Amino acid sequence: MTLLGDGESRLLIDGKLVPGSRGTFPTVNPATEEVLGVAADATVGDMMDAIDAARRAFDETDWSTNVELRVRCLRQLQQAMRDHADELRELTISEVGAPRMLTAGAHLDGPIEDLSFAADTAESYQWTTDLGHATPQGIPTNRTIAREAVGVVGAITPWNFPHQINLAKVGPALAAGNTLVLKPAPDTPWVAAVLGELITQHTDFPAGAINIVTSRDHGVGALLSKHADVDMVSFTGSTATGRAVMTDAAETIKKVFLELGGKSAFLVLDDADVAAACAMAAFTASMHAGQGCAITTRLVVPRARYDEAVAAAAGTMGGIKPGDPSSPRTVCGPVISARQRDRVQGYLDLALQEGGTFACGGGRPADRDKGFFIEPTVIAGLDNSARVAREEIFGPVLTVIAHDGDDDAVRIANDSPYGLSGTVFSADPQRAAGVAARLRVGTVNVNGGVWYSADAPFGGYKQSGNGREMGIAGFEEYLETKCIATLAT
């Protein structure tokens, strides 16, 4: 089997690959601007069919109670993705603009292997807990706590790390016993749609357990938040869209998981190796053209060493040239679309208007007349009140901000509507740990530690979202809790 052999993807609804009722829409290579092929363009009616299929599969089959079947299906999907990894890798590079080197991690190989965590957790999870005998109100009672699937889950995902985010929802939601409708971003429909091909050809998933609906119309995905037959919506994307999801979901009081935006800070304390820390911050901000919600895009450095920090960051970032994502040496590929490139450029123009300067970068690379590329850019001369220091840009842009000691560094880091991630560098591990403990964020990297892992929860504080994805906490997002009290005789 060759994935997308005819250059056209289809919807997966009720166990069948079907065309979209609105025809097709193109998917584009962001590095070349060439049309790769077309994806099925679903209507609201198609989404209704997918929701109905998921509802029937949950209500009328043993999917929610058959742990062995769920585990087997997930392991089959994982093996099918392993078997087709070479094709998936080239597709991901072409459609997402993901640098080849990153497909060995969070862009492909990591998410495939992380499916093991969801399957293993379902196999070993304690689905019931005996609370023992008690006499509440004088009545002898035996009590049991049961953990059960929520029901039908609507998953809405973005384009920046589509394999990682799609599978971080699909894996635990299905392992927990839910049925699911996945609505991926219209910028990257193929990397989601190929899952439908693999599922129909290589797995025992029953009809309706998982449905995949691609569409250029964002209103099709919004139905998942509004429909009464959807019991939970799991959304990753912008904070503005997250608000709309929460508002729509309020009508039916459905469970909501939100993983939203970030404007994370990289704190360099005055005892740190400033040059090394700033070089790491610059490299991180350039990866995948800065298109990651948890990437640290505010570099907060000691005021007395500000110029040194800017020079170190610019020395690294200026040496990272936007390039062909298919090359194994490329770190910074294109942004996803012309719309996103123009949005990033708008923020760069704003930085100059706000009084900032560019230590490197500042626009489109002169040597590339095709592709949606932006130069890795270091902005200097602004404080934390600037819009480029407060708003999520989602491009290879790093703003350097001065601090006046540890307390001020923490204040700057926390002075944000977001609270997704952060980094602290210090020669003193205890000092670094103390600063990290004061950050109002969901994940912290201390002196180069890595928090990204299948068994570690990911999510944010404040307007970065509600709930956690991955880890046991992420698995349990997809469960309800039932207390069963039986009269003791």
Catalytic residues, by residue number, are: 259
DSSP state of 433: H
Asked if 400 and 412 count as a contact pair (C-beta separation under 8 A), the reply is no
Asked if 353 and 382 count as a contact pair (C-beta separation under 8 A), the reply is no
Tell me how far apart the alpha carbons of residues 96 and 334 are, in angstroms, rounded to a whole number: 9
Residues in a beta bridge with 301? 402
3-state class (DSSP) for residue 231: coil
> 427 phi and psi, to 5 degrees?
-70, -20
DSSP state of 475: H
CA dihedral 174, 180, 181, 185 (to 10 degrees): -30
Tell me how far apart the alpha carbons of residues 251 and 246 are, in angstroms, rounded to a whole number: 9
Tell me how far apart the alpha carbons of residues 21 and 142 are, in angstroms, rounded to a whole number: 53
Q: Is the dihedral of CA 238, 240, 241, 244 positive or negative?
A: positive
List Cβ<8 Å contacts ≥24 apart for 125-129. Answer: 125/475, 127/67
Asked if 326 and 362 count as a contact pair (C-beta separation under 8 A), the reply is no
Tell me how far apart the alpha carbons of residues 391 and 399 are, in angstroms, rounded to a whole number: 11
Q: Which amino acid is at 408?
A: D
Q: What tokens appear for 25 in the block?
A: 């829409």
Asked if 122 and 175 count as a contact pair (C-beta separation under 8 A), the reply is yes
Tell me how far apart the alpha carbons of residues 19 and 23 are, in angstroms, rounded to a whole number: 7
Tell me how far apart the alpha carbons of residues 326 and 222 are, in angstroms, rounded to a whole number: 34
- CA distance between the termini of the chain: 60
Residue 343 CB contacts under 8 Å (≥ 6 apart), including other chains: 393, 394, 395
Q: Is the dihedral of CA 212, 102, 468, 477 positive or negative?
A: positive
Alpha carbon separation from 214 to 9, 23, 84 (Å, rounded): 9, 11, 21
Asked if 294 and 421 count as a contact pair (C-beta separation under 8 A), the reply is yes
**Cα-based angle 416, 422, 428 (whole degrees, multiple of 5):** 125
Residue 267 CB contacts under 8 Å (≥ 6 apart), including other chains: 300, 403, 409, 410, 413, 422, 423, 424, 425, 435
